[in-house]
Structure 1
Amino acid sequence: MFHEAKQQFVQYLQTEKNYSSLTIEHYIHDIDKFFLFLLKEGVDALEEVDEIHAKLFLMQLHQDKYSRASVSRKISSLRSFFSYLQREEKQRTNPMSYVLHPKKEGRLPHFFYENEMEQLFLVCDGEKPLDLRNKAILELLYATGIRVSECTSIHLQDLDLTMGTLLVKGKGRKERYVPFGDFARNAIKHYVEEGRPELVKRDGMTSLFINHRGEPLTARGIRYMLTNLMNKTTLTASIHPHMLRHTFATHLLNNGADLRTVQELLGHSHLSSTQLYTHVTKEHLRKTYNSFHPRA
């Protein structure tokens, strides 16, 4: 009973919602955890699930020391699952509608300052094929703010080096065009003309970024590459690809870009997602003021 309902929901996410495989994996993980909890509670039919079970599950998550973000994601996943069952008339009520999301921790996204970015660019100079590729990736991530999954899915035909634009295939199969400047254009051109041909090992390969085996570069490969670059600098912070997305947005806003433009460039569906970066820039202004104003 549980398995059949889950499989139908997964098909709905794939066909109607066009969610990525990674997003669907998160849904499956959250639903499976709830099913396991129900079985331990002696519940073997979805019709028996009520708000008491939902609240007990929430208590269990808190006891297991799950973060607020993880708890909130599980609530959202299960609320969507039961809403789908309601729509299909397989469930009369949504037990998760009685559960409130935990208050967000309010952590600000980490980003690099401009001088820190300069250090990263300096250490990836080199003329070997992988050096050219790494610099092109770093320049492009910083120039466009694209997600690492969007970076790994770029094909040669998505690039327009003359216009300095990139066709990005984002979440939910949404497409958008993003511009990039001369630094990224030159780095990509150098890589495509002199580095990439030495990495490609078979005809018909259209992926822009290639690993040393001649295969399309993965998100894990980009994370590994960035970590290696970071280790060559004097910086002490850790790095992950999303930090470059945060840096892109923060630097734009710090230099006067309007919020709606940044929203469009990032591919955010809702302005509220982009507004998070205004808090980052306000914090930056506050620290600058406290550091330099004589009566701060």
Structure 2
Amino acid sequence: MAAAGDDAVIGSTPLPLAFARHLARDRRRSAHTVRAYGATAERLTAFLARHWGGAVDARALAAITTADVRAYLAARRGEGLANASTARELSAVRAFLAFAGVEAPRLKGPRVGKGVPRPIAPDEAVALAEEVDEDAAEPWIGLRDFAVLLLLYGAGLRIGEALALTGASLPLGETLAVTGKRGKTRIVPLLPQVRVAIEHYVAECPWPMARDLPLFRGAKGGALSPGVVRVSVRKARARLGLGERTTPHALRHSFATHLLGRGADLRSLQELLGHASLGSTQIYTAVDAAHLLDVYRNAHPRA
């Protein structure tokens, strides 16, 4: 996009703001993608201004090197960024540099080593949802997939339960009625962030939201297939360096493990997950213990 990299075309508009406007107007990306990528552009230019000791415009960006990008990512990692979020940050950096007409330095994103499967961290769950959104063919499809994945992680739904929701769930409130296995209905809390994500999708969806029609629609208006979501997640996790066990269902496991780690009792967790027996819920005690053991081994000086 050479024209975007021309200072005369950018004019007096700061480059990160011009980039954000380009994403919103020309690429028609979702609001949260515009916000996240725009914030990365602002952080990068501010870092380079300090790093280089001078103003950063499109012409200055042409001199960026792999070492500069590595230094920026190292600074972000020092702020506590996890692997998936770092990979997401690198993706945003590449998009920003391409907008500025600069060839991004060749740099591989961080990889997650193989080993015992673990629940993904909260920021990794969000990064996964954002990456799926960014790669969508249409903005409304990105909003749909983002909402579905946040629903799996934020409310602990099975993918089949999420895709079985209909327009009867609208308008959304603080809780959501979910029909699980054997037709059993349960009530789950709906986090504000999840509710907003679903509402954004509904506002942009080109298909009608009748009470008896699916809430989450496929590209041609029918019910969204679980396979479509799984394929999108598989592509996104590869780009973010997440392990192959990072599936839509893993978001439900992460929901359960994180709640247990924050003090939720097994009976409450059983109700939230819709398990018929407490034994099904007790597997999360072992998962949480394994996670705590990892923390202990990494943090204790004598471990």
Please give the TM-score of this superposition, normalised by the length of structure 1. Answer: 0.58
Match of residue 150, structure 1, among 161, 174, 189: 161
- Aligned equivalents of 1:203, 1:293: Cα separation in 2: 55
Match of residue 214, structure 2, among 180, 199, 207: 207
Structure 2: segments with no counterpart, 5+ residues: 1-115
Structure number with greater Rg is 1
Q: In 2 relative to 1, CA 260–143 (structure 1 residues): closer, same or farther, beyond 3 Å? A: same
Deviation by residue 1:147-200 (Cα, 9 ceiling, x = unmatched): 111111100113452x32211111111111111201101100100112x2x2x2
Match of 1:256 in 2: 263
Match of 1:232 in 2: 239
Matched, 1:166 2:182: no
- In the TM superposition, 1:61-80 aligns within 5 A as none
2:151 partner amino acid: L
- Aligned equivalents of 1:130, 1:251: Cα separation in 2: 28
- Aligned equivalents of 2:178, 2:117: Cα separation in 1: 23
Match of 1:247 in 2: 254
Structure 1: segments with no counterpart, 5+ residues: 1-107
Match of 1:276 in 2: 283
Q: In 2 relative to 1, CA 205–168 (structure 1 residues): closer, same or farther, beyond 3 Å? A: closer
- Aligned equivalents of 2:117, 2:274: Cα separation in 1: 17
- Identical residues among aligned pairs (%): 41
Retained in 2: the 8 A contact 1:158–1:168? no
Q: In 2 relative to 1, CA 167–159 (structure 1 residues): closer, same or farther, beyond 3 Å? A: farther
Match of 2:195 in 1: 185
Match of 1:117 in 2: 125
Q: In 2 relative to 1, CA 266–237 (structure 1 residues): closer, same or farther, beyond 3 Å? A: same
Deviation by residue 1:93-127 (Cα, 9 ceiling, x = unmatched): xxxxxxxxxxxxxxx87421233223213324558
- Aligned equivalents of 2:189, 2:150: Cα separation in 1: 12
Paired residue total: 186
- Aligned equivalents of 1:147, 1:204: Cα separation in 2: 21
- In the TM superposition, 1:24-173 aligns within 5 A as 110-126=118-134, 128-161=139-172, 163-173=173-183
The secondary structure found in structure 2 opposite 1:232 is helix
2:155 partner amino acid: T
Q: CA deviation at 1:294?
A: 0.9
Retained in 1: the 8 A contact 2:166–2:211? no
Match of residue 175, structure 1, among 185, 190, 194: 185
The secondary structure found in structure 1 opposite 2:282 is helix
Q: CA deviation at 1:283?
A: 0.9
- Aligned equivalents of 2:216, 2:130: Cα separation in 1: 20
Give the superposed CA RMSD. Answer: 2.4
- Aligned equivalents of 2:296, 2:192: Cα separation in 1: 33
Deviation by residue 1:220-251 (Cα, 9 ceiling, x = unmatched): 22212322332332324343221111111001
Q: In 2 relative to 1, CA 255–160 (structure 1 residues): closer, same or farther, beyond 3 Å? A: farther
Q: In 2 relative to 1, CA 261–206 (structure 1 residues): closer, same or farther, beyond 3 Å? A: same
Q: In 2 relative to 1, CA 203–171 (structure 1 residues): closer, same or farther, beyond 3 Å? A: closer
Match of 2:48 in 1: none
Please give the TM-score of this superposition, normalised by the length of structure 2. Answer: 0.56
The secondary structure found in structure 1 opposite 2:240 is coil
Match of 2:27 in 1: none
Q: CA deviation at 1:288?
A: 0.7
Larger mean CA deviation between 223-232 and 118-127 belongs to 118-127
- Aligned equivalents of 1:244, 1:156: Cα separation in 2: 24
